[in-house]
Amino acid sequence: RLVPDAVVLEDVSYQEATELAYFGAKVVHPSTMAPAIENKIPIWIRNTFNPSYRGTKIQERAPSGHPVKGFTTVEGIALINVEGTGMMGVPGVANRLFGALREVDVSVVMISQASSEHSICFAIPEAQAALARQTVERAFFAELHHNQIQMIDVTENCSILAAVGDNMVDHPGVAGKFFSALGTARVNIRAIAQGSSERNISTVIDCVDSRKALRAVHAAFYLSNQTISIGVIGAGLIGGTFLDQLRGQMEKLKKEWRIDLRVRGILNTRGMVLSEGRSLDGWREALEASQTPADLEAFVAHIQADHVPHAAILDCTSSAELTTQYPCWLERGIHIITPNKKANTGSMEFYRLLQSTARERKRHYLYETTVGAGLPIVNTLRDLVQTGDEVLRIEGILSGTLSYIFNTFDGTKPFSEIVLDARARGFTEPDPRDDLSGTDVGRKLVILAREMGLALELAEVRITSLVPASLREGTLDEFLKHLPEHDQEIAALLEQARGRGEVLRYVGVIDPKGECFVELKGYPQAHAFAGTTGSDNIVAFQTQRYHTQSLTVQGPGAGPDVTAGGVFADLLRLASFLGGA
């Protein structure tokens, strides 16, 4: 089946059926319809294997509906182009050309001529290409000899792709949508023909692109603009939670908002599952039982399906190596959604490449969840910048893990005990030093700084690590064993803060000079940062517009549910963008 989502046409006019039959629909031949057309007798096309199905009714006037009734292809075509300055304004050239071809019984399938009359190209059965070329050279021998015709070019291995529909004449933009779909699918168009009746648009394309082109135009006209082929890389805590959230919403999104989200691939380090994305029931079991080894290139090729209008990859890993593929995916026309901070905090050169590739290829690269999980921090900052506000200072608690630790640390329990408790609850990375080092907060500052337009590298962020210098190296077990030995150091900082009427918070700051630093800092009890609870993130934007009172975003900044929900929200945001395409 060339098009997996093909549908049965309920009603077709005689003219539409004739066009479709001429261009390869083998169900009915134009000649057999002539008596029915003459006497206005309806023709029913039924399926002998499914006699109870209504089938298709061919009649004089089909009920108006979809502007394009169908697409069809003719294979085994050769395209001949006759070009020369001696043809311009000379009457009878076309008559001589097609008269000569008629004399040798060459069937011309399609004709296209430039209005300047500088060239005429026509499509014929490939088997007649050599005969046609000889005939044209003989008919225009004198013009070729005197260089009035400069070229007779034959291109073989072509196909004709035709769009057919009576209602195309009443719908502006059909041709634009047709050619846009082919352009998005990277199908090169060699020739175009359309009559004034606008019932048919025909194009000549390379034969190797025929299947891809047919699927692309069908998807553009018959599927929702918000149909997306989705590949999820990383099915752990965040990726798995996202898949569970999507599973519960798929049918509602499709039914109520025509958002058709098809997870056609799930990949982790152990293997992958590829499908058509009809259901997410049992996805965990399918991935666990999969015998298909992880093959990133095959995975991406499957996700970029030519019969689905759009493709998106959701990178739910923390892999730096995987992010090196982002520019390639964008270049291929794939949208990217990710909570992975590594891409936006790599070198400034790589960051600029990512952003420019997304712009040039008109693809969406969405990463709201790289800062603040599901909180609208990145988009809020982007809105401020794009609307012309000047951002003066950004200050925030950007680690849900460290927010929980310092919201809990009140001196009644040793600091090390709270860290171990947070680890046991799954709030920290497996090695808590990854959180306590402050690098994660530093990465988030880099992301925000670059959104502001600052050319900042991660190495330029001044980070005060909470990991004692003597424990930064060595094994995890050694770190956990010796961390209690340093409880007094941080307990002393807590007492000093209390003496000033303050609480301790681990924050990231971008100051008015554009300098960035991460540090443990005291805040008075009346400050908004002192009122956080649990794993709250809070970010204060001080700008020209929000100068006397900062714009503040606050809420849970850690946990698989809110992070996966943020990824889901980015996916729906992508669907919304594409819905207007």
Active site residues: 444
d(CA 399, CA 466): 13
**How far is the CA of 372 from the CAs of 64, 339, 391, 539, 563, in angstroms?**
50, 10, 19, 9, 8
d(CA 105, CA 124): 11
Does residue 372 come out as left (phi exceeding 0), alpha (psi in the -120 to 50 range) or beta? Answer: left
d(CA 216, CA 184): 8
Give 292-295 contacts, CB < 8 A, sequence gap 24+. 294/267, 294/268, 294/269, 294/270
Rg (CA), the chain: 32
| Bridging pattern class, strands 151-164 and 200-206 | antiparallel
State the number of CA atoms in the 13 A half-sphere of 99 facing the CB: 7
DSSP category for residue 230 = E
153: how many CB neighbours lie within 10 A of its CB?
13
The amino acid at 227: T
Q: Could you write out the DSSP letters of every residue in 429-485?
A: -SSTHHHHTSHHHHHHHHHHHHHHT----GGGSEE---S-GGGSSS-HHHHHHHGGG
- Least Cα distance to 17 among 41, 38, 43 occurs for 43
Q: Two tokens at 492?
A: 């002393």
d(CA 161, CA 109): 12
d(CA 485, CA 479): 10
d(CA 295, CA 314): 16
d(CA 233, CA 243): 11
SS3 content of the chain, % helix, strand, coil (to 5): 45, 25, 35
Backbone angles phi, psi at 552, to 5 degrees: -120, 135
Give 248-257 contacts, CB < 8 A, sequence gap 24+. 249/568, 250/279, 250/280, 253/572, 257/226
362: how many CB neighbours lie within 10 A of its CB?
11
Q: Could you write out the DSSP letters of every residue in 93-150?
A: HHHHHHHHHHHTTPPP-EEEE-TTSSEEEEEEEGGGHHHHHHHHHHHTHHHHHTTSS-
